[in-house]
Amino acid sequence: MKAALAAKRQVMLFLNRLGYHTFVSCRDCGFVYRCPDCAVSLTYFRKEHALKCTRCGFMAKLKSVCPDCGSKRIKYFGLGTEQLEEVVKRHFPAAKIGRLDSEQTRAKGSFDRVYEDMRSGEIDILIGTRMMAKGWDFANVVLTGIIAADYTLNFPDFRAGERTFQMIAQVAGRCGRGRERGKVILQSYRPEEPALLFGGQQNYEAYYRWEAQAREKYGYPPFTHLMKAVFTTPADYLKREELAEINRIFVSESGETVRVFGPTPGIYHDQGKDKWVVTLIDDDLSMLRIGIKRGISRLKSEKIIDKNFNIQIETEPMHTV
């Protein structure tokens, strides 16, 4: 970064996390501040000294004691774009720094201003989320740093590697678009991960071969078909025995070749609700439809499903959680 700035070139730093800290927890009881509407962990924003949900916008004041156990040992975890900007300013006080994320671009015209400042050279270092991953074409950007590049690999979905590769390849593509060769540096705990290696190289063919081989080995789409049933219930409505019974019924009502997973907890929740996901995988899509239909019919006849259930069926879903 020092060398790029000394040569009057521009730098882009990518971090796909908003806020100052990504979550806040109690060190004594393990309590994590979560959104009451979405159940996802709340992000701490230092400027407002507040907790926000980056999914729905819910905001709450941060208390000095744990609401569960009363402990004062409240701990902040994770790095967000707000904190990254502060760190960069400390190391490069003379540099003109811009930030591009959903928090910074709420005001009308703010996105265009950042774009024009980058185009005219008014910004030396641009920090941003996936908002800057597509379509940006600045010949003076010669260095791109991708912070916590393996973050999205930890998402519990078989497409996590594919999405990470897409994101890395898009961000890497913002660098070296002029006559000067660019450099992309990835920060990762898993530097040998193919999604990161091939994404940084923008090697689509190599990553496709690796991912296709893995998908075929473990029987995932596009070599198979996938359907899921999402059950939404009041919180704590289903007991362990009932969840086991749901799995048993789907297994018994599906064909011998159909693989049944779950019910597993859904990642996203509504206020006061639980989500449970049953996933069926098979080579034959018609077998999945039969298994889903028969399974739900039997659950209703045995009164495991009642009026407190909301059921959503998805065929070839883009997300499996």
Residue 181, Cβ density class (10 Å: 0-12 exposed, 13-18 middle, ≥19 buried): exposed
Between 206 and 85, whose confidence is greater?
Answer: 206
Task: Report how far apart, in Å, the C-alpha atoms of 141 and of each of 98, 154, 159, 271, 315 are.
Answer: 14, 29, 30, 44, 42
Q: Is the pLDDT of residue 303 over 90?
A: no
Spatial CA neighbour of 236 closest among 274, 288, 276:
274
Q: Number of C-alpha atoms within 13 angstroms, CB side, residue 236?
A: 0
Spatial CA neighbour of 151 closest among 120, 196, 184, 182:
196
In this prediction, residue 193 carries a pLDDT of 87
Spatial CA neighbour of 19 closest among 127, 153, 164, 172:
127
Tell me the whole-structure pTM to 2 decimals: 0.73
Task: Report how far apart, in Å, the C-alpha atoms of 81 and of each of 36, 43, 89, 275 are.
Answer: 24, 11, 12, 30
In this prediction, residue 96 carries a pLDDT of 92
In this prediction, residue 280 carries a pLDDT of 93
pLDDT in tens, 22-35: 667 777 777 777 77
- Going by pLDDT thresholds of 50, 70 and 90, the confidence category of residue 269 is low
Sign of the torsion formed by the C-alpha atoms of 225, 260, 266 and 298: positive
Contact 140, 4 (CB under 8 A): no
Residues facing 146 on adjacent strands: 14, 186
